[in-house]
Amino acid sequence: MRIGGADRFVPGKRGHQHQQGRTRQMKVGQQAVDDAEAEARRDEQRGFGLTAVGRVSRGGSFQRALLCDIRVAAEGTRFRLPELTYGVIPDTGGMGALFETCGAGLVSDLVLTGRVMPADEAFAHGIVSRIVAPDDLDATAREMAEQIAAAPAVTVKMAREVIRHLAQPQIRSSMADEMIYQTFINRSDDMAELRAARAEERPPRFTGS
C-alpha cells in the first residue's frame, strides 16, 4: 500500500583465463552496485510504504516487505528466507533491513537455517509493528494509511527522512554486497555442482569454491 576466501593468480594460460573471468565478474558486480544505487534513488522518490502481510511471506516478498516503512501481520503469518536452500543468498536488501531491526544473531539464524519465523516472534523482534486478526488485516492497514495521509505531507516526509537516515546507509551497503556476492555465487564451482547434483539426483560434493 502506497501513500503518494581470496583468489590466487597463477601465471600462464589458465591464470590468464582466471584473471579475465575475475575481470568480467568485477564488471558485472559493479553494474549490480550501480543498479542497486539507482533503485535506492528511485525509492527515495516513492511514497510512504505500508504493507499488510498475511499467511506466508517468504524470500523476495519478505525482503520487500522489510523495506517498507511499516509492516502489519495477520495472526498465524509465517516468515522465511529460504534462499540458501536454493544455493543463493537473499539479495533484495532484506539482510540489511533485518540487521538494523534485530541484529546479527537473528539474521544469521534466519538466513543460514532458512527456518520459519511465526508472527508472534516477528512482533517480538520489531519486524512487524502490529498483529491483528486475519479478517481485520486490510481494514487495519487502510485505517493506518488514512491516519498518515491526514497529516501534512511535508511533516510525514521529514519524519520519514529522519528515520531513513538512521537505517539507509546500512541497507544500501548490504544491497551492494549482496549483488556482488550473488554474482560470484552464480559463477562458482559449488553452484555448478549443486545444479549437476540435482539433475543427476545425487548428493552434492561442495568444495567451497
Domain count, the chain: 1
Dist CA 174 CA 97 (whole Å): 9
Residue 200 lies in a domain: no
Residue 202 lies in a domain: no
Dist CA 172 CA 175 (whole Å): 5
Dist CA 187 CA 200 (whole Å): 20
Dist CA 187 CA 190 (whole Å): 9
Res 173: pLDDT = 65
Residue 182 lies in a domain: yes
Dist CA 95 CA 102 (whole Å): 10
> 79: helix, coil or strand?
strand
Residue 209 lies in a domain: no
pLDDT per 10-residue tile (average), the chain, 209 residues: 39 40 48 52 58 93 91 97 91 84 92 96 96 96 93 88 73 71 86 91 89
Residue 205 lies in a domain: no
Cα–Cα separations (whole angstroms), residue 187 to 43, 102, 177, 180: 29, 31, 16, 11
Residue 208 lies in a domain: no
Residue 92 sits in a domain whose CATH number is 3.90.226.10
Look up the domain containing 55 and give its range: 2-195
Res 47: pLDDT = 53
Cα–Cα separations (whole angstroms), residue 1 to 49, 50, 59: 6, 5, 19
